[in-house]
Structure 1
Amino acid sequence: MLMRSLPLNDAAGRDKIVPLRAVATNTRRIESKNLLDGSRELVIEHQGAEYHLRLTRNDKLILTK
């Protein structure tokens, strides 16, 4: 976990340690090739809207609404 020291305004002059970001421990991991299954585009429906996950010519992923 990344940590950063922030100065406090107390008399002791100690620093407070705070996390920069939380690390998810149980995040699902799926290979993009398994999602796309040989195609270059996938449509994801979320709350009534369509999102398009596209594989570019440079093998990058782009998600658009």
Structure 2
Amino acid sequence: MTFHSSVNTDEPATRLPNPDMPVHDARKLTGDDGTTALIVLDDKTYTLRITRAGKLILTK
């Protein structure tokens, strides 16, 4: 995957991800539902939710 940045003198520069870091599309993670996904870390389950405003919320 290639990342491109645009230069806008009115806004601070955006940090690009580390090219060795995995990238996951939140919309693909939420599947058919399109708004929520469960994420498991060790023995805990978290809910990833995409809001109507397009923001991500991760809750335990």
| Richer in strand (by share) | 1
Are 1:27 and 2:21 matched, yes or no?
A: yes
The 5 A counterparts of 1:1-65 are 24-39=18-33, 40-65=35-60
| Equivalent residue letter for 1:34 | K
| Cα distance in structure 2, aligned partners of 1:48 and 1:54 | 20
Task: Mark the runs of 5 or more structure 2 residues left unpaired by the alignment.
Answer: 1-16
Q: What is the TM-score with the length of structure 1 in the denominator?
A: 0.56
Query: How many residues of Structure 1 are paired with residues of Structure 2 in the alignment?
Result: 43
| Cα distance in structure 2, aligned partners of 1:56 and 1:27 | 25
Residue number in structure 1 paired with 2:7: none
Task: Mark the runs of 5 or more structure 1 residues left unpaired by the alignment.
Answer: 1-22
Instruction: Compute the RMSD of aligned alpha carbons.
Output: 1.6
Task: Kindly report structure 1 stretches of 4+ aligned residues shifted beyond 4 Å.
Answer: none
**Bigger radius of gyration:** 1
